[in-house]
Amino acid sequence: MRSESIGDGEFIEQNKKLDAILKKRDDKMIAQYGEEGWRKKKEEDLKRVYEKLKENSKPKIVPRRENNIYDEIEKAEKTQMPAPEAEKKQDVGIKEDSNKLDVADDVLIVSDPESEKKELKPVEYKGNFLGGQKAIKDKIFNKTRTAKSLKNATTLLIYLIQHSAWKDKNDKHRTFTNWYAKKQLIVASRSQGQIALDLGVSVRTIQRWLDELEKDKLIKREIESRENVYILGRVRGDKEFFFYERK
């Protein structure tokens, strides 16, 4: 980029002088080596420069120094105390290492971190209840109305489990006395319109989620009095087994 302090005339004049110097050098070298010899020599010179630049671009491994200046500065910062000696050494260290491409700390990266990670495997859960402080509160359904990430079939499954039959529950489908106690099935009965209102989505979305749950064999649907009853699992003695527990 041309300096703004140099006028056009002066700039042109400087270029002319430079061209003259280069031409004088070329004439001298052609006289010494011949035109073809001078061309080859320039090519060899350029090749040497390229190799030198290539060699200098390779990372240089610098052994880690004991008690290096960076450790001293970090220690001083942690104790909130001045570190004049560390700062002084830092200035010297920067000058000494100005021609080096890598600092000493780079030597610590000796292998691929991914290869050192512990192999992860899925946990095989044993069927313990998520009780105590880990229990899911029904307030999660209030949040579903505004949280897009909760609008999915998983939330619907939790919702149906929340509304499944419990002892002495009295509803028109007799979900406890008939379905639970007699048929030994864990069921929930809730209109799709009410479910849609509770979860903040359309009835069509609820129908799609129900199809997904049924396809994955997490629920079964039966019709009673022209209304859906959702079967979530079976009862064996005094224990409940939900479909999601099956492998």
Range of the domain at 171: 132-245
Could you tell me the two tokens for 97? 């290492």
Please indicate, yes or no, if residue 125 is contained in any of the structural domains.
Answer: no
Is 110's pLDDT higher than 50? no
Please indicate, yes or no, if residue 3 is contained in any of the structural domains.
Answer: no
Please indicate, yes or no, if residue 121 is contained in any of the structural domains.
Answer: no
pTM score of the predicted model: 0.50
pLDDT digits (tens, 9 = 90+) for 48-89: 877 877 777 766 665 555 555 556 556 655 565 554 554 454
Is 174's pLDDT higher than 90? no
Task: Determine phi and psi for 28, rounding to 5 degrees.
Answer: -65, -45
pLDDT digits (tens, 9 = 90+) for 179-228: 888 899 999 988 899 999 999 999 999 999 999 999 999 999 998 888 88
Please indicate, yes or no, if residue 209 is contained in any of the structural domains.
Answer: yes
Alpha carbons 243 and 9: distance in angstroms, whole number? 90
Residues 157 and 235 grouped into a single domain = yes
Residues 171 and 206 grouped into a single domain = yes
Spatial neighbors of 174 by CB under 8 A, at least 6 apart, are none
Residues 83 and 173 grouped into a single domain = no
Please indicate, yes or no, if residue 180 is contained in any of the structural domains.
Answer: yes
Please indicate, yes or no, if residue 126 is contained in any of the structural domains.
Answer: no
Residues 163 and 228 grouped into a single domain = yes
Please indicate, yes or no, if residue 120 is contained in any of the structural domains.
Answer: no
Residues 137 and 208 grouped into a single domain = yes
Count of structural domains within the chain: 3
Please indicate, yes or no, if residue 87 is contained in any of the structural domains.
Answer: yes
